[in-house]
Amino acid sequence: MEVRKRRSRSLDEEGQEEKMKKIHVEEKPNNEERPLEDQKKSPMEKTSKDKSKERKKSEDQLEDGKKSPMEKRSIENGANKRMRSEEGQLEDGKESLRKISEDEKKSPMEKRSIENGANKRRRSEKGQLEDGKKISEDQNKRSRSPEDPLEGGSKPKKLRVDTDRPAPLDIKNYRFYSELASGGFGQVMLASYAPTKQLVAVKIMKKKPDKSNFAIMMKEARLLKVARGCTFLCHSYAAFQSELEAFLILEYASGKSLMEMINRKGNLPMGRIMFYTAEMVVGLQFLHSKGIVHRDVKPDNTLVDRDGHIKICDFGLAAEGIFDEERTSGVAGTPGYRAPEVLLKANYNAGVDWWSFGITMYQMATGRLPFSPTGSIVRQYYAIEKNKPNYPYYMSQEMLDLLPKLLEMKENKRIGVNGNIREHSFYRTVIWEELENRRVKSPFQPGMPSADDFTECQQTFSANVRKEETNLEDFSYVDPNWEGQG
């Protein structure tokens, strides 16, 4: 009995000792040091540790036996999920091996084709991603205040040229038929405005790369607006531009020019000369009242409209701002029509227009120029100074009196500058108010042909303005009173 008690006590002491060792082992923080410590342990300690593991296992089994059915099912489900996940990974691995094996069997061409397809898909996905980023950035930019610098915004830029043009400002809405005139400025084409089939004259001016003719084109478009105030000046319906050209849409004078009339008839009757030159007087006086000197008055620039009335055209060489004592300079105009002061390269005023007007009147009466237009400007000047015009016998006394006053060498004595030309006896039968309102019947009325009477010819022009350096600022306009625009 006493032996049994001693053994029992010995076993209890060993159990307590084992428990203390177990607690001591569990409290060690560094698990990596355990293998080294295990080597240092005695065989008895190792045996004791193995027994403790077996006891722990039995205790875990006992605890599992105490768990509820629901807890057991939850544990089983978790274990099953882990097993299925491991099985799925195993299947994926097998599938990858199968694909690798199949790829190895494919020819190099097939491999390249597959790689190209994959690369295209990757580039497409990358492009879509970048597009998405751009759209997002654009939306962010639009959401910012355009005037708030703190938000990175800026003031909206002014558009150079409207993308959606009104119909009269689109060259595609015009049909071209024939050339009416041409020169250093460009050319004038007979055309029609397609929506209404109205015949018009289109002046086409090429833009020079060095912009040297930009000011001339801008000036002419500007003066054509001023010209609307006088019925005897050529009117414009619209002005617009393309990348390389500038267009002026003008009224079409179906009676052609006085030059063509002179060429057909040789010389004109006195009554017709009086009528046409009287209307020219009204037109020139209107320009001069606006400070404009035409500087290229001649029969070629004097047209006859459908009703037989005069239209002075071509303001490309005109000078602006010539009021009172103001003067301008420069050798402008056409040889044979230039005033002496222009040939001398002196400063001059509106008197140069009255000289050119006198040359035109003489040419209408005789069919020729009074002075030679050939040679240098010095030679032309001496031809005027030394030679007197030959006045035919059939000229009326009134014309014989008027012409020398117009062709006066000294501009300050020239009629038009010195004295009112309307009061000269040559125009004694003219009722100026009736004339200004176009109530005086013209010598003949050319009428207006139909656009259907002409054959269209194709014309090619450049696209709309895209570059700031080729843009004529504030050039385009449409006459709001243009009835033919539809």
Q: What CA–CA distances, in Å, run from 20 to 13, 25, 39, 47, 52?
A: 11, 9, 20, 15, 11
Which residues lie across from 389 on neighbouring strands?
none
Q: How far is CA 54 from the centre of its chain?
A: 92
Please indicate whether residue 103 is annotated as part of the active site.
no
What span, in angstroms and rounded, lies between the C-alpha atoms of 320 and 353? 13
What span, in angstroms and rounded, lies between the C-alpha atoms of 316 and 222? 10
Residue 268 burial class via C-beta count within 10 angstroms: exposed 0-12, middle 13-18, buried 19 and up: buried
Which residue, chain included where needed, has tokens 């031809």? Answer: 383
What span, in angstroms and rounded, lies between the C-alpha atoms of 153 and 151? 5
* From 38, 296, 305, 353, active-site residue: 296
Apex CA 40: angle with CA 39 and CA 45, to 5°?
Answer: 90
Residue of 314, 252, 262, 307 lying closest to 283 (CA atoms): 314
Which residue, chain included where needed, has tokens 């139909």? Answer: 450
The DSSP annotation for 57-88 comes to HHHHHHHHHHS-HHHHHHHHHHHHHHHHHHHH
Which residues lie across from 262 on neighbouring strands?
none
Mind telling me the catalytic residues? 296
